[in-house]
Amino acid sequence: MQVIKFSVYNQRLRRITPGTIVPMPYGYLKCEFDFRTDDWSKIKTKTVNFSYRGENHKVELDNNNQCYVPKEVVYTPSFNLSVFGDDMITNTVKIPVDGEYIPVNDSIEQYVDKAITNALNLSKDDIGLLDGGEIIQGGGTSG
């Protein structure tokens, strides 16, 4: 499990753990917050707002000031987060993400087909393959 550590001074959120995140399955990535000022000690419920492309996902911190990062935000190029509770809110921090997560339960053939189709800019109807992988029909029209 990877843990991204942050420090919080009043309303200033700062990332401590450097580096770029690689997409992984849910439950792999956590955030941990060190609240260094007394103004946060009076707040019972602290919540992290994770955002990716305008969609927000709010997650409450546990008793150790940790939470799992929602799988819906761990995509390239980055996701953002901030912490809030009662009348306190921090600045937003951007977390860079690099790479594409390929789910274990999906077949690799789906991703190869997708890559080939995208690279050649052809539809699946334009490409005909036998079980052995031979091309029996190409895209385009004959004249």
Identify the band that residue 17 occupies on the pLDDT scale cut at 50, 70 and 90: very high
Helices (H), the chain: 108-120
> Do 82 and 53 share a domain, yes or no?
yes
> Do 26 and 90 share a domain, yes or no?
yes
Which residues span the domain enclosing 17?
Answer: 2-96
The count of domains in the chain is 2
Identify the band that residue 124 occupies on the pLDDT scale cut at 50, 70 and 90: low
> Do 91 and 47 share a domain, yes or no?
yes
Rounded Cα distance, 98 and 33, in Å:
23
Q: How does pLDDT run across 26-40, given as a tens digit for each residue?
A: 778 999 999 999 999
Task: Please determine, for residue 52, whether its predicted confidence score (pLDDT) is greater than 50.
Answer: yes
Does residue 82 lie in a domain region?
A: yes
| Cis preceding-peptide flag for 77 (omega within 30 of 0) | yes
CATH number at residue 90: 2.60.40
